[in-house]
Protein backbone atom coordinates (compact mmCIF):
# COMPACT_ATOMS: atom_id res chain seq x y z
CA UNK A 1 0.00 0.00 0.00
CA UNK A 2 1.29 3.44 -0.93
CA UNK A 3 0.24 6.57 0.95
CA UNK A 4 0.19 9.92 -0.82
CA UNK A 5 0.50 13.27 0.92
CA UNK A 6 -0.05 16.51 -0.96
CA UNK A 7 1.30 19.64 0.70
CA UNK A 8 -0.33 22.78 -0.72
CA UNK A 9 0.78 26.22 0.36
CA UNK A 10 -2.05 28.74 0.33
CA UNK A 11 -2.24 31.09 -2.66
CA UNK A 12 -1.03 34.72 -2.58
CA UNK A 13 -2.72 36.76 0.10
CA UNK A 14 -3.54 40.41 0.54
CA UNK A 15 -2.34 42.60 3.40
CA UNK A 16 -5.33 44.84 4.20
CA UNK A 17 -4.64 47.44 6.86
CA UNK A 18 -5.90 46.55 10.32
CA UNK A 19 -6.75 42.94 9.44
CA UNK A 20 -5.22 40.30 11.74
CA UNK A 21 -2.88 37.84 10.00
CA UNK A 22 -5.27 34.91 10.49
CA UNK A 23 -8.02 36.81 8.65
CA UNK A 24 -6.07 37.96 5.58
CA UNK A 25 -7.87 37.04 2.33
CA UNK A 26 -6.38 36.10 -1.02
CA UNK A 27 -5.44 38.91 -3.36
CA UNK A 28 -6.31 38.93 -7.08
CA UNK A 29 -3.39 36.73 -8.07
CA UNK A 30 -4.23 34.28 -5.32
CA UNK A 31 -7.83 34.05 -6.51
CA UNK A 32 -6.52 33.28 -10.02
CA UNK A 33 -3.84 30.78 -8.92
CA UNK A 34 -5.89 28.67 -6.49
CA UNK A 35 -8.28 27.20 -9.12
CA UNK A 36 -5.27 26.38 -11.33
CA UNK A 37 -3.70 24.55 -8.39
CA UNK A 38 -6.88 22.50 -8.07
CA UNK A 39 -6.88 21.58 -11.76
CA UNK A 40 -3.20 20.56 -11.69
CA UNK A 41 -3.68 18.62 -8.46
CA UNK A 42 -6.63 16.72 -9.89
CA UNK A 43 -4.49 15.68 -12.86
CA UNK A 44 -1.51 14.73 -10.70
CA UNK A 45 -3.22 12.89 -7.85
CA UNK A 46 -6.85 12.05 -8.60
CA UNK A 47 -9.34 11.58 -5.75
CA UNK A 48 -8.37 12.77 -2.27
CA UNK A 49 -9.62 10.87 0.78
CA UNK A 50 -9.09 13.64 3.31
CA UNK A 51 -8.24 17.35 3.19
CA UNK A 52 -6.76 18.97 6.30
CA UNK A 53 -7.10 22.74 6.00
CA UNK A 54 -5.71 25.52 8.19
CA UNK A 55 -8.45 27.77 9.55
CA UNK A 56 -6.67 30.91 8.29
CA UNK A 57 -8.86 32.68 5.74
CA UNK A 58 -6.23 32.52 2.98
CA UNK A 59 -5.92 28.72 3.37
CA UNK A 60 -9.72 28.32 3.48
CA UNK A 61 -10.14 30.42 0.33
CA UNK A 62 -7.35 28.49 -1.43
CA UNK A 63 -9.02 25.17 -0.67
CA UNK A 64 -12.48 26.41 -1.62
CA UNK A 65 -11.28 27.68 -5.00
CA UNK A 66 -9.06 24.65 -5.69
CA UNK A 67 -11.69 22.12 -4.63
CA UNK A 68 -13.95 23.00 -7.59
CA UNK A 69 -11.68 20.72 -9.64
CA UNK A 70 -10.96 18.15 -6.94
CA UNK A 71 -12.73 15.04 -5.77
CA UNK A 72 -12.42 15.24 -1.96
CA UNK A 73 -14.20 12.68 0.20
CA UNK A 74 -13.77 14.45 3.57
CA UNK A 75 -12.53 17.83 4.78
CA UNK A 76 -11.38 18.81 8.24
CA UNK A 77 -10.59 22.39 9.19
CA UNK A 78 -7.74 22.33 11.70
CA UNK A 79 -6.92 25.43 13.80
CA UNK A 80 -3.62 23.80 14.83
CA UNK A 81 -2.31 23.98 11.25
CA UNK A 82 -2.23 27.79 11.32
CA UNK A 83 1.49 28.65 11.09
CA UNK A 84 2.30 25.15 12.41
CA UNK A 85 5.81 23.77 12.71
CA UNK A 86 6.64 20.74 10.54
CA UNK A 87 6.58 18.41 13.56
CA UNK A 88 3.01 19.50 14.34
CA UNK A 89 1.92 19.05 10.71
CA UNK A 90 3.45 15.56 10.67
CA UNK A 91 1.48 14.61 13.79
CA UNK A 92 -1.75 15.55 12.02
CA UNK A 93 -0.72 13.43 9.03
CA UNK A 94 0.24 10.44 11.19
CA UNK A 95 -3.28 10.35 12.65
CA UNK A 96 -4.89 10.08 9.20
CA UNK A 97 -6.49 6.83 8.18
CA UNK A 98 -6.58 7.41 4.45
CA UNK A 99 -4.58 6.64 1.32
CA UNK A 100 -4.40 10.20 -0.04
CA UNK A 101 -4.30 13.31 2.15
CA UNK A 102 -4.18 16.96 1.12
CA UNK A 103 -2.79 19.39 3.68
CA UNK A 104 -3.38 23.11 3.00
CA UNK A 105 -1.17 25.26 5.18
CA UNK A 106 1.57 27.88 5.44
CA UNK A 107 5.28 28.45 5.16
CA UNK A 108 7.82 27.88 6.50
CA UNK A 109 6.21 24.70 7.87
CA UNK A 110 5.02 23.36 4.52
CA UNK A 111 8.43 23.79 2.90
CA UNK A 112 10.28 22.34 5.89
CA UNK A 113 7.96 19.32 6.10
CA UNK A 114 8.46 18.53 2.40
CA UNK A 115 12.23 18.74 2.88
CA UNK A 116 12.18 16.57 6.01
CA UNK A 117 9.95 13.84 4.60
CA UNK A 118 11.65 13.62 1.21
CA UNK A 119 15.25 14.29 2.21
CA UNK A 120 15.36 16.73 -0.72
CA UNK A 121 16.97 19.94 0.47
CA UNK A 122 15.72 23.39 -0.43
CA UNK A 123 12.23 22.60 -1.67
CA UNK A 124 11.20 26.25 -2.15
CA UNK A 125 7.47 26.72 -1.75
CA UNK A 126 6.08 29.85 -3.40
CA UNK A 127 2.40 30.56 -2.87
CA UNK A 128 0.00 28.13 -4.62
CA UNK A 129 2.76 25.50 -4.94
CA UNK A 130 2.19 21.87 -4.07
CA UNK A 131 4.39 18.84 -3.44
CA UNK A 132 3.22 15.26 -3.89
CA UNK A 133 4.98 12.87 -1.52
CA UNK A 134 4.61 9.09 -1.58
CA UNK A 135 5.73 6.33 0.77
CA UNK A 136 4.96 2.67 1.35
CA UNK A 137 2.76 1.91 4.31
CA UNK A 138 0.21 3.90 6.29
CA UNK A 139 0.68 7.50 7.43
CA UNK A 140 1.07 6.32 11.03
CA UNK A 141 4.60 5.18 10.12
CA UNK A 142 5.70 8.32 8.31
CA UNK A 143 8.91 9.90 9.58
CA UNK A 144 11.66 12.14 8.19
CA UNK A 145 13.26 10.66 5.08
CA UNK A 146 10.51 8.08 4.46
CA UNK A 147 8.90 9.60 1.36
CA UNK A 148 9.88 10.38 -2.18
CA UNK A 149 9.03 13.66 -3.84
CA UNK A 150 6.90 12.47 -6.77
CA UNK A 151 5.95 15.90 -8.08
CA UNK A 152 6.38 19.56 -7.34
CA UNK A 153 4.29 22.21 -9.11
CA UNK A 154 3.82 25.95 -8.82
CA UNK A 155 0.33 26.93 -9.98
CA UNK A 156 -0.05 30.21 -11.80
CA UNK A 157 -3.27 31.52 -13.33
Quote the pTM value.
0.97
Cα 90 → chain centroid: 12
**Residue-wise pLDDT tens digits, 103-137:** 999 999 999 999 999 998 767 899 999 999 999 99
Binning pLDDT at 50, 70 and 90, where does residue 142 land? very high
% pLDDT > 90, the chain: 95
Residue at 72 is within a domain: yes
Average pLDDT value over all residues in the chain: 96
- On whether the CB atoms of residues 83 and 106 are closer than 8 A, the answer is yes
Q: Mapped to the 3 state alphabet, what secondary structure does 21-77 carry?
A: HHHCCECHHHHHHHHHHHHHHHHHHCCEEEEEEECCHHHHHHHHHHHHHCCEEEEEE
Any domain includes 139: no
- Which structural domain, as residue segments, surrounds residue 50? 2-13+22-99+108-134+150-154
123 belongs to a structural domain? yes
Question: Is pLDDT of 147 > 80?
Answer: yes
Q: How large a percentage of the chain has pLDDT more than 70?
A: 99
Half-sphere exposure of 44 (CA within 13 A, CB side): 26
Tens digit of each residue's pLDDT (9 = 90 or more) over 65-117: 999 999 999 999 999 999 999 999 999 999 999 999 999 999 999 999 999 99
Q: What are φ and ψ of residue 8, in 5° steps?
A: -115, 120
Q: Is residue 143 part of a domain?
A: no
Q: Is 141 inside a domain boundary? A: no
**3-class DSSP state of 141:** helix
pLDDT at 145 over 90: yes
Instruction: Please state, in angstroms and rounded to a whole number, the distance separating the CA atoms of residues 65 and 32.
Output: 9
Q: Cis omega before residue 108 (within 30°)?
A: yes
How many domains in the chain? 1
Smallest Cα–Cα separation from 26: which of 37, 9, 39, 10?
10
Which residue did the predictor score with more confidence, 125 or 29?
Answer: 29
Which positions ≥6 away from 33 have C-beta within 8 Å? 11, 12, 127, 128, 155, 156, 157
For residue 27, give the CATH number of its domain: 3.40.50.1240
- pLDDT, position 74: 97
Amino acid sequence: MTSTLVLLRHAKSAYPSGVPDHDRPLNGRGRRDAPVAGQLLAEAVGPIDLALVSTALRAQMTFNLASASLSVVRRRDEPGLYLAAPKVMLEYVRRCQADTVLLVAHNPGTEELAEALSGVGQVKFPTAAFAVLRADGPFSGWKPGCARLAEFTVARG
